[in-house]
Structure 1
Amino acid sequence: MTFKIEQIHHVAYRCHDAKETVDWYKKNLHMDFTLAFAENHVPSTKEPDPYMHVFLDAGNGNVLAFFELPTQPKMGSDKNTPAWVQHIALRVKDRDTLEIAKAHLEENSVDVLGIVNHGLFHSIYFFDPNGHRIELAYDDPAAEAKIAQITEEMKQDMLNEWTKTKRAPEHTKFLHAEEFEG
């Protein structure tokens, strides 16, 4: 017997303040606050560690959750990982929607980077009040045709080359070709 993952049930991050976090996501990303529960013991480990666990609707059955842990040391960043690496990317419908979201965020004093062209999709980036990097992205209308050019063999060749050299293979350079021309 075997199994296959159906979808992400939820993604959980830590937050400084559960109420501030819920209010921020409702105001800035229009996400619905769907569930909250709190306990004094961790169900999986039975450790005494009070927490508040809040859940927000990220659309299409996707859930973004946060834990507030008042008895733990303050949150910090991973000094060995650049701030741009760890993030959550949320999909929006199209460029118009992305531009509306960007304007809304900026009107609410959120610093926004982008719109960045990744070849297959276009994104903006910003940080939530907990320091988590958030990406809003829409798929490029030509993405399917570009993805079709990336064969199984190409993916494996790229992964193998990367493993040997730790340098970016040039197999998919075509995704950003127009950015580097002229």
Structure 2
Amino acid sequence: MINIEKIHHVAYRCKDAKETTQWYKDKLNMDLVLAIAEDEVPSTKAPDPYMHIFLDAGDENVLAFFELPNSPDMGRDENTPAWVQHIAMRVASVDALIAAKAELESKGVDVLGPTNHGVFKSIYFFDPNGHRLELAANTGTPEQYKELNSVAQDMIEEWSQTKRAPRHAAWLHEQD
């Protein structure tokens, strides 16, 4: 039986490893913890030079990026809205979220939010690679999380049949 302990790292592509490392340090206080560079992909043996950087996202969480200088310029799936694919990171409180928004804006970052999701509040912004980032602060009660968990499977079943938003957890966005 597979027993996942935690996510080891999540990896995305970047345009420039040095710029990305500096941006995450300057804007989000994330330190570079590891860099790996090869001329050949270890898993496939393809001749494709890369720089793979690993950034400390706190509590042993790692956000990683690949710079691929011999590949076509980065793009994104044009059939997927820009708001869908994102990296969400948790902050300690709503006060920390508001302070993070103010700090990011003072550093020239355009920030959307906070947005109330019922059991957490979020702000949104983009990194220099065009990746959408989210900072989120949990606000829900144990009872709310338990209720959401108890209706999750029913919601998936209803969605799979109707492709319409089930109303089981509509209360999340009906409050402010």
TM-score scaled by structure 2?
0.97
Answer whether contact 1:146 1:175 (CA < 8 A) is retained. Answer: no
2:168 corresponds in structure 1 to 171
Deviation of 1:177 (Å): 2.8
Partner of 1:60: 59
Letter in 1 for 2:161: K
The Cα shift of 1:40 comes to 0.2
Are 1:8 and 2:7 an aligned pair?
yes
For residues 167 and 21 of structure 1, what CA distance do their matches in structure 2 show?
A: 38
Q: Distance in 1 between matches of 2:163 and 2:155?
A: 11
Contact residue 118 and residue 175 of structure 1 kept, 8 A: yes
**Residue 146 in structure 1 maps to residue 147 in structure 2:** no
Summarize deviations over 1:32-75 as a string: whole Å, max 9, x none.
Answer: 11011100000000000000111100011110001000000000
Which residues of structure 1 form unaligned runs of 5+? none
C-alpha distance in 1 between matches for 2:4 and 2:13: 24
Match status 1:77 vs 2:55: no
Q: Deviations over 1:108-142 (max 9, x none)?
A: 111100000000100000000000000000100x3
Within 2, Cα distance between the matches of 1:25 and 1:99? Answer: 18
Unpaired segments of 5 or more residues in structure 2?
none
Query: Deviation of residue 143 (structure 1)?
Result: 3.3
**The residue matched to 2:123 in structure 1 has which SS?**
strand
How far 1:151 sits from its partner (Å)? Answer: 5.0
Residue of structure 1 in register with 2:23 after alignment: 24
Native 8 Å contact 1:127 1:133 kept in 2: yes
- Residue identity opposite 2:82 in structure 1: A
Rate the CA distance shift 1:4–1:16 in 2: closer, same or farther, 3 A. Answer: same
Mapped pair 1:122 → 2:125: no
Out of 155, 160, 163, which is 1:158 matched to?
155
Give the Cα separation in 2 of the matches to 1:15 and 1:78: 15
Q: How many residues align?
A: 176
Q: Once the two structures are aligned, what percentage of the paired residues are identical?
A: 62
Cα distance between partner residues in 1 of 2:7 and 2:82: 23
Distance 1:12 1:69 in 2: 13
Matched, 1:39 2:38: yes
The RMSD of aligned alpha carbons is 1.0
Offset at 1:100?
Answer: 1.2
3-state SS in 1 of match to 2:19:
helix
Letter in 2 for 1:86: Q
Please say if residues 121 and 143 of structure 1, whose CA atoms lie closer than 8 Å, have aligned partners that are also in contact: no
